[in-house]
Every structure is written in structure tokens, then in C-alpha cells.
């Protein structure tokens, strides 16, 4: 029996007979699909069945590993996936209040010397506010491919790499939602692709349970050299909301860990005279808090100490404000 039929039967049997794919099954079936040995309709059916059953960390890790094997290795410090976008929200004057402030956080870290690779995708026709539309004010260039991303990282420490420029098949699979009406597990896969094999990273998600899932995926893949922090992001994006208390999940060489973070919104936080994304005055305190919190959660993946991460995030933010 072919691997695709084996996998469809495995997840598609009756309630008592079905079971999730193993890591090896998931890897093999995605590997063969990426090699052109499996048709789109068969793979789409498998993806829909897995989505209905709720994908497991082993399944997503296997799929992700198959993509990883086809990506050239480059040197990156920070992996910053941006796939969800933020809900479009405007004030009565038409000013956008839902700007991608995580881009400012990424830019500040790049100015500090970290090599930051942002990657993402936005469905055509979506009204979400996405990072790809706000790169220019922060002088973040879009890479044509991984080789170009490498060059940009060497010259400016930061680059944006669209999904279509390094994993076009994954982009095609995301578009299956338009044909079949359901999202597939590829929505989970793309966040963990880490095309730069970065040492540190963030994973933002929205639905309950996915914060732990994203961290567990890294453990299943075997990324002992990559430490990530996974959390419930603003609108599901990789931007931290300091107004809520939540459990942060981390994954590193020592395994999976949970950390409870209390609300940490600071009404007295310093703000810059000018925001590169033209944040309106009424939202500057919120913007500042989101940027600092997003820097802190990333640094937590490296430092493993919240107090130190917070202190460094505030130092970098204060430094940024004095330069604006």
C-alpha cells in the first residue's frame, strides 16, 4: 500500500479505528508529496482529515521536517514568523490602530546586532493588517529568495522573506482553504519552518492549545539548537499582548517548559516623539508596551530569565526612543 493511502486510512477510519500519524508517517508522506509522487487531491484529503481530528505535534513536526530538508542553511539569530496579520481596526478619523508593532521590536533587535529573519504570507484579498505592507518605514527589505535574504542579513541584519519565495508549495497548500473551505495543518506548519535555522524564535498563535503545540513541535523535530517562546499573540500574530496574563511555552535542548506570565502593562512607559509606523498619539503607550513585551518574550527564549529579559527589553526600548 502506498504511503498516502496508508495515511488516509490511518486518520480516516471510524472513531474507534482511527489514530494520528506518527512522525515517520508524516515525514514520509510530505517528503513524497514535495517530490511530486503524490497528487494534490490525495494530499488535500489527508490534510482535511487531520485538521478535523486536530493535528498533533508529531504530525506537524514530520511535515515541517520534510520542508526543512529542502531549505539551504543560512546563519540567522532570530526567527520571526508573521502569518496571521492583525485585525483591521481604525479610529473615527480613519487612522489604523492595529499596526504591526512587532516589526519595530524585530528592527530594534537587528539594530542591536542580531540577525533577524522575518517570514510570512497573507492571503490575497485579506483585509488583515500584515507586516509585509509596513516594511519600508523601517527600512526592512523583501528578499527575492534565500540567497538574497542572506545578503540582506549580512548588510543590514534584517530581512523579510515571503513564503512564496522559499516554500511555494506551502503557499499553494494554504490556498486550498479557498477550494475546500477549511484551513489545513499547513497553517501550523509554516509558522515553524524557520527557513534560517535560527537559534531563537517566537511563535504567536490564537486558539487555545496551539501555544503548547507550537513549542512541542520543536521538541518533536529535534531542534536542540533552537530555543523558541510560544504564546497567544495579538490576533494570532507573533506580537505579545502585555495586557493579558498567560502561560508562555518554551522549547529548547532541555525539553518543553511552561512559564506563567502576569499582566505587565506599564502606563508610564516612555514613548518616542515619532513612531516609524506613524502610530497615532493616543496609541503610543499601547504601542510601546507591545514592542517592549515582544522584545522581552524573544529575549526570554535566549536568557531563560524573565527579569533579565524585561530589563534588556526596556534598555533597548529606551535607547530606541532617544534616537527617534
pLDDT tier at 87, thresholds 50, 70, 90: confident
Compute the chain's Rg from CA coordinates: 20
Rounded (10°) angle between helices 3-12 and 40-53: 30
Task: Report residue 27 as a C-alpha cell.
Answer: 515525514
Output the pLDDT for position 163. 98
Which residue has cell 478535523? Answer: 52
- Between 122 and 138, the more confident residue is 138
pLDDT given for residue 124 in this prediction: 79
pLDDT in tens, 232-291: 999 999 999 999 999 999 998 888 999 999 999 999 999 999 999 999 999 999 999 999
- Of 150, 139, 190, the C-alpha closest to 169 is 190
Query: In this model, does residue 148 exceed pLDDT 80?
Result: yes
CA 30 to chain centre: 21
Q: What is the DSSP string of 8-39?
A: HHHHHS-TTT--PPPHHHHHHHHHHHHTT-S-
- Cell numbers linked to 36: 511530486
Beta-carbon count within 10 A of 14 CB:
6
- CA 265-267-268 angle, 5° bins: 120
CATH topology for the 78-323 domain: Pyrimidine Nucleoside Phosphorylase; Chain A, domain 2 (3.40.1030)
- The overall average pLDDT reported for the chain is 94
Instruction: Characterize the bridge pairing of strands 116-120 and 158-162.
Output: parallel
Global pTM value: 0.95
CATH 3.40.1030.10 domain extents, the chain: 78-323
Q: What are residue 158's phi and psi, to 5 degrees? A: -150, 145
Q: pLDDT per residue over 161-197, tens digit each? A: 999 999 999 999 999 999 988 889 999 999 999 999 9
CA 139 from chain centre, in angstroms, equals: 21
Residues 295-320 have a mean pLDDT of: 98
Residue 307: which residues within 8 A CB-CB, separation 6 or more? none
pLDDT tens for 219-242 read 888 655 789 999 999 999 999 999
Alpha-carbon separation of residue 239 from 99, 111, 287 (angstroms): 11, 19, 11
pLDDT of residue 245: 98
Quote the Cα angle for 206-209-215, to 5°.
Answer: 90
Tell me if 296 sits within 8 A of 240, measured CB to CB.
yes
Q: How confident is residue 125, by pLDDT bands cut at 50, 70 and 90?
A: confident
Amino acid at each position: 500500500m502506498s504511503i498516502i493511502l496508508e495515511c488516509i486510512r490511518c486518520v480516516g477510519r471510524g472513531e474507534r479505528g482511527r489514530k494520528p500519524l506518527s512522525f515517520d508517517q508524516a515525514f514520509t508522506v510530505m517528503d513524497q508529496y514535495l517530490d511530486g509522487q503524490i497528487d494534490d487531491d490525495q494530499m488535500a484529503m489527508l490534510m482535511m482529515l487531520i485538521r478535523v481530528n486536530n493535528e498533533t505535534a508529531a504530525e506537524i513536526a514530520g511535515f515541517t521536517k520534510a520542508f526543512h530538508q529542502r531549505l539551504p542553511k543560512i546563519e540567522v539569530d532570530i526567527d520571526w514568523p508573521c502569518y496571521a496579520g492583525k485585525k483591521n481596526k481604525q479610529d473615527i478619523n480613519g487612522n489604523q490602530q492595529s499596526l504591526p508593532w512587532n516589526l519595530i521590536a524585530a528592527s530594534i533587535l537587528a539594530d542591536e546586532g542580531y540577525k533577524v529573519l522575518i517570514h510570512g504570507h497573507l492571503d490575497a484579498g485579506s483585509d488583515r493588517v500584515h507586516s509585509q505592507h509596513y516594511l519600508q518605514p523601517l527600512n526592512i527589505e523583501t528578499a527575492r529568495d534565500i540567497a538574497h535574504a542572506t545578503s540582506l542579513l549580512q548588510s543590514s541584519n534584517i530581512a523579510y522573506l515571503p513564503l512564496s519565495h522559499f516554500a511555494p508549495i506551502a503557499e499553494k497548500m494554504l490556498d486550498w482553504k479557498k477550494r475546500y473551505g477549511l484551513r489545513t495543518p499547513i497553517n501550523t506548519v509554516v509558522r515553524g519552518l524557520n527557513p534560517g535555522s535560527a537559534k531563537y524564535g517566537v511563535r504567536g498563535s490564537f486558539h487555545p492549545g496551539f501555544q503548547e503545540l507550537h513549542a512541542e513541535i520543536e521538541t518533536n523535530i529535534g531542534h536542540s539548537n533552537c530555543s523558541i517562546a510560544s504564546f497567544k499573540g495579538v490576533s494570532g500574530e507573533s506580537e505579545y499582548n502585555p495586557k493579558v496574563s498567560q502561560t508562555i511555552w518554551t522549547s529548547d535542548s532541555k525539553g518543553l517548559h511552561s512559564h506563567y506570565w502576569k499582566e505587565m502593562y506599564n502606563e508610564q512607559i516612555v514613548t518616542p516623539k515619532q513612531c516609524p509606523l506613524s502610530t497615532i498619539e493616543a496609541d503610543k503607550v499601547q504601542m510601546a508596551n507591545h514592542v517592549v513585551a515582544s522584545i522581552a518574550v524573544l529575549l526570554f527564549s535566549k536568557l531563560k530569565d524573565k527579569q533579565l529579559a524585561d530589563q534588556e527589553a526596556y534598555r533597548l526600548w529606551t535607547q530606541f526612543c532617544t534616537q527617534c
